[in-house]
Amino acid sequence: MSKQWEPRKPTVELQPGAPRPSRIRRDPAKTAKQTVVPDRDERDRSVVVIGVVTFALALAVLAVAIGSYAGWSPSQYSMHLSVAQ
């Protein structure tokens, strides 16, 4: 038969009513990053401006392309400006 085990150190008596704080150091909780939501009116205005500029540029390119096909070139014309004194 084996011997009865006898602990060399006495066991720690925990107090039932007083919980001990943890000694583990932890990083502070990370806060959620706030997302910036753009204003709808501002976004709509910028989209409209981009659309109008793109459409105007497309019409200008189309006009130059049709004129070039017809044999017209802006270099055929010269401008003479005079400054009034």
Written as one string, the DSSP assignment of 59-83 is HHHHHHHHHHHTT--GGG-------
If one compares 10 and 43, the residue with the highest pLDDT of the two is 43
State the pLDDT at residue 60: 94
Q: Which two tokens stand for residue 39?
A: 């204003």
Judge contact between 65 and 71, C-beta under 8 A: no
Q: Which residue has the tokens 């130059």?
A: 64
Q: Is the pLDDT of residue 59 over 70?
A: yes
pTM: 0.46
Phi, psi of 51 (to 5 degrees): -65, -45
Query: Looking at residues 5-34, what average pLDDT do you find?
Result: 72
Q: Which two tokens stand for residue 74?
A: 């802006």
